[in-house]
Amino acid sequence: MGAGVIGLSSAYHIISQEPSAKVLLLEKALSPGQGDSGKSAAGVRTVFTSEVNRLLAETSIDFYLHLQNDLKFPVNLELIGYLWLMTARVFEDFSPKIETLRKNGVPLKIWEEKELTQMISEARLEVKGDDEEAKLMHLESIRKGVQGVKCGTIAPERLVEFYANEIKKMGVEIRYGERVQSIIVEPTPKLSLPSEPFVWERVNFSGVRTSNSEFRSDCTILALGAWTSSLLDPLGIDCHIRTKKRQVFTFRGPKIGSLVNSRGFNEQNVFPMSFLPPTNIYMRPNRPDSSFWVGVSDYVGRAFTFEEDPIAEDTFYERNIYPVISHYFPAFVDARPFNKWAGHYDMNTIDGNPYIFGESGLIAIAGCSGSGMQKADAIGRIVASAYSKKDSATLYGGKNFKVSRLGVETRDVQHEDLVI
Amino acid sequence: MGAGVIGLSSAYHIISQEPSAKVLLLEKALSPGQGDSGKSAAGVRTVFTSEVNRLLAETSIDFYLHLQNDLKFPVNLELIGYLWLMTARVFEDFSPKIETLRKNGVPLKIWEEKELTQMISEARLEVKGDDEEAKLMHLESIRKGVQGVKCGTIAPERLVEFYANEIKKMGVEIRYGERVQSIIVEPTPKLSLPSEPFVWERVNFSGVRTSNSEFRSDCTILALGAWTSSLLDPLGIDCHIRTKKRQVFTFRGPKIGSLVNSRGFNEQNVFPMSFLPPTNIYMRPNRPDSSFWVGVSDYVGRAFTFEEDPIAEDTFYERNIYPVISHYFPAFVDARPFNKWAGHYDMNTIDGNPYIFGESGLIAIAGCSGSGMQKADAIGRIVASAYSKKDSATLYGGKNFKVSRLGVETRDVQHEDLVI
Count H helices and E strands in chain B, helices first. Answer: 12, 20
Q: Are residues B142 and B171 in the same domain?
A: no
Question: Which residue from A235, A279, A409 is facing B200, i.e. has the nearest CB?
Answer: A279
Q: Are residues A251 and A339 in the same domain?
A: yes
Q: Which helix (H) or strand (E) holds B208?
A: strand B202-210
Q: Which helix (H) or strand (E) holds B250?
A: strand B242-251
Amino acid occupying residue B113: E
Q: How far is B298 from chain A (nearest CA, A)?
A: 6
In the predicted structure, residue B58 carries a pLDDT above the cut 90: yes
Q: Are residues B340 and B362 in the same domain?
A: no
For residues A366-389, average pLDDT: 96
Q: Is B19 left (phi over 0), alpha (psi -120 to 50) or beta?
A: alpha
- Residue B408 forms contact with A (CB below 8 Å): yes
Q: Are residues B169 and B71 in the same domain?
A: yes
Residue A278 sits at φ, ψ, to 5 deg, of -95, 5
Q: Are residues A280 and A224 in the same domain?
A: no
CB A341 within 8 A of CB A247: yes
Interface of A with B in 179-198 (CB under 8 A): 185, 189, 191, 193, 195-198
Q: Does residue A413 form part of some domain?
A: no
Give percent above pLDDT 90 in chain A: 96
CA gap B40, A98 in Å, rounded: 49
Q: Give the end of a domain, one of A321, A347, A373.
A: A347
Q: Looking at B277-416, which runs of residues are DSSP E strands?
A: 281-286, 291-295, 339-347, 355-359, 362-366, 392-394, 400-402
Question: Which residue from B195, B200, B279 is facing A278, i.e. has the nearest CB?
Answer: B200
- Give the model's confidence band at A398: pLDDT under 50 very low, under 70 low, under 90 confident, else very high: very high
Contact flag B198-A319 (C-beta cutoff 8 Å): yes
Q: Give the end of a domain, one of A347, A366, A395.
A: A347
Residues in chain B with CB shorter than 8 Å from the CB of A138 are 200-202
Give percent above pLDDT 70 in chain B: 100
Interface of A with B in 366-405 (CB under 8 A): none
Q: Does residue A415 form part of some domain?
A: no
Q: Does residue A419 form part of some domain?
A: no
Residues in chain A with CB shorter than 8 Å from the CB of B298 are 199, 236
What is the per-residue pLDDT across B223-265, written as a single tens digit (0 to 9) for each? Answer: 999 999 999 999 999 999 999 999 999 999 999 999 999 999 9
Q: Are residues A104 and A250 in the same domain?
A: yes
Q: How far is A232 from chain B (nearest CA, A)?
A: 8
Interface of B with A in 190-249 (CB under 8 A): 191, 193, 195-203, 233-238, 240, 242, 244
In the predicted structure, residue B342 carries a pLDDT above the cut 90: yes
Q: Does residue B363 form part of some domain?
A: yes
- Give the model's confidence band at B171: pLDDT under 50 very low, under 70 low, under 90 confident, else very high: very high
Q: Are residues B36 and B181 in the same domain?
A: yes
Is the pTM above the cut of 0.90?
yes
CA gap A320, A310 in Å, rounded: 18
CB A148 within 8 A of CB A108: yes
- Residue B25 forms contact with A (CB below 8 Å): no
CA gap A34, A309 in Å, rounded: 11
CA-nearest residue to B237 within chain A is: A300
The CATH number that applies at residue B95 is 3.30.9.10
Residues in chain B with CB shorter than 8 Å from the CB of A281 are 199
pLDDT of residue B334: 96
Residues in chain A with CB shorter than 8 Å from the CB of B238 are 242, 304, 347, 349-350
Q: Give the end of a domain, one of B347, B366, B393.
A: B347
Question: Which residue from A136, A185, A195 is facing B319, i.e. has the nearest CB?
Answer: A195
Q: Are residues B42 and B145 in the same domain?
A: no
Interface with A, mutate which of B135, B199, B240 (most A CBs under 10 A): B199
pLDDT of residue A191: 85
Non-local CB neighbours of B251 within 8 Å, separated by 6+ positions: B291, B292, B294, B332, B335, B336, B337, B338
Predicted complex ipTM: 0.93
Residues in chain B with CB shorter than 8 Å from the CB of A187 are none
Question: Which residue from A138, A200, A299 is facing B324, i.e. has the nearest CB?
Answer: A200
Residues in chain A with CB shorter than 8 Å from the CB of B138 are 200-202
Q: Does residue A417 form part of some domain?
A: no
CA-nearest residue to B242 within chain A is: A238
In the predicted structure, residue B333 carries a pLDDT above the cut 90: yes
If one counts every other C-beta atom within 10 angstroms of the C-beta of residue B397, the result is 12
CB B33 within 8 A of CB B3: yes
Q: Are residues A163 and A209 in the same domain?
A: yes
Smallest Cα–Cα separation from B408: which of A349, A224, A65? Answer: A349
> DSSP H helical segments within B202-289, as ranges?
228-232, 254-260
Question: Which residue from B193, B301, B321 is facing A185, i.e. has the nearest CB?
Answer: B301
- Give the model's confidence band at B164: pLDDT under 50 very low, under 70 low, under 90 confident, else very high: very high
What is the CA angle B210-B212-B215, rounded to 5? 55
Q: Are residues B285 and B161 in the same domain?
A: no
Question: Which residue from A137, A199, A238 is facing B279, i.e. has the nearest CB?
Answer: A199
Contact flag A195-B350 (C-beta cutoff 8 Å): no
**B273 is in which domain, residue-wise?**
82-149+243-347
Give the single-character DSSP code of B78.
Answer: B
The CATH number that applies at residue B373 is 3.50.50.60
- Residue A320 forms contact with B (CB below 8 Å): yes
Smallest Cα–Cα separation from A224: which of A344, A39, A366, A368? Answer: A366
Q: Are residues B123 and B251 in the same domain?
A: yes
Q: Are residues B161 and B305 in the same domain?
A: no
What is the CA angle B311-B313-B314, rounded to 5? 140
Question: Which residue from B301, B323, B411 is facing A235, i.e. has the nearest CB?
Answer: B301
What is the per-residue pLDDT across A127-182, written as a single tens digit (0 to 9) for each? Answer: 999 999 999 999 999 999 999 999 999 999 999 999 999 999 999 999 999 999 99
pLDDT of residue B122: 87
Number of domains in chain A: 2
Q: Does residue B416 form part of some domain?
A: no
pLDDT of residue B100: 95
What is the per-residue pLDDT across B23-52, written as a single tens digit (0 to 9) for each? Answer: 999 999 999 999 999 999 999 999 999 999
Beta bridge pairs of residue A148: A82, A108
What is the per-residue pLDDT across A91-132, written as a single tens digit (0 to 9) for each? Answer: 999 999 999 999 999 999 999 999 999 999 889 999 999 999
Q: Does residue B396 form part of some domain?
A: yes
pLDDT of residue B195: 85
Question: Which residue from A203, A244, A320 is facing B199, i.e. has the nearest CB?
Answer: A320
- Residue A135 forms contact with B (CB below 8 Å): no
Query: CA–CA distance from B91 to each of A121, B96, B97, B116, B273 (Å)?
Result: 71, 9, 10, 15, 18
Q: Does residue B418 form part of some domain?
A: no
Query: CA–CA distance from A311 to each of A295, A343, B236 (Å)?
Result: 14, 8, 18
Residues in chain A with CB shorter than 8 Å from the CB of B350 are 238, 240, 350, 408, 411
In the predicted structure, residue B155 carries a pLDDT above the cut 90: yes
Beta bridge pairs of residue B205: B185
